[in-house]
Amino acid sequence: SNLTVTGIHATGTLRVSGAVTLETALTVANGGTGVVTLTDIVLGNGTSAFTATSTLTASKGGTGVASFTANGVLYGNDTGNILVTAQGPDNSILTANAGAPVFTATPTMASTSVLGSLNTGTLTATSGTSYLNALSLATDLTVANGGTGASTFTTNAVLVGNGTGAITTAATSSVGTATSTPSQEFNVTGDQFVANSGTTTLFMDSTTAENGACIQMKSTQGPVRMYITIDGTTPSLKFELGSCK
């Protein structure tokens, strides 16, 4: 049978066998919750009855909302509920200007002009590769910076180094040895030694009429030229003052 007890006060140990039904919810002060039912998230409330909520506020370590926009970006709102942006469209970037962030179209950079020095320190690429589709300079890139120092060269000409100065070109028909500026079609500066293990040490051929080989030497009287001439049908070796050209 059921025993109904009112106004009970017990000291020591009170033993009860079976279920105990209370007419009112057991208070927090007496070790209860102060409520009959609880759902979702239970929150303490001091000595008052517990409370329950479906969303935990930001001040309690939650977000304050039950759902967010799909593919949106969350951003803070002080102690208020966390906010979320709309989903960004294709090829857009998230920007902010002293306010809530929003998605905007990706800016297009047609060209960039730099006045002065682009970089005064050391530029180091830690990873990846950089590509330049086209590079326009106000002046020619110097040799000291890995360039040629010139903007154009003679077609088919031979390039000639010039120390730290701009690279130059030799005439298309000129070849120089020990000189960067050959004055003749074949110009050698310094001593020459011609040797061969065959029967012919030096062979010069001229197939054009009125043209032949000429060797120029230096004397106290000036340049001396040596060449072969033909008197009638008799060839002879001729020496005379003068240059070959």
Q: What is the pLDDT of residues 217-236, one digit of tens each?
A: 888 888 888 888 877 788 88
Which CA distances in Å does 96 have to 30, 69, 75, 80, 103? 53, 19, 11, 19, 9
Which tens digit of pLDDT belongs to each residue from 135-180?
Answer: 778 889 899 988 998 988 888 777 888 889 998 887 666 666 666 6
pLDDT, mean over the chain: 77
Of all residues in the chain, the percent with pLDDT exceeding 70 is 70
Q: How many CB atoms lie within 10 A of CB 176?
A: 19
CA 173 to each of CA 18, 26, 124, 186: distance values in angstroms, whole numbers, following the listed order: 120, 113, 45, 8
Q: Do the Cβ atoms of 184 and 190 come closer than 8 Å?
A: no
Residue 87 confidence (pLDDT): 93
First to last CA, the chain: 144
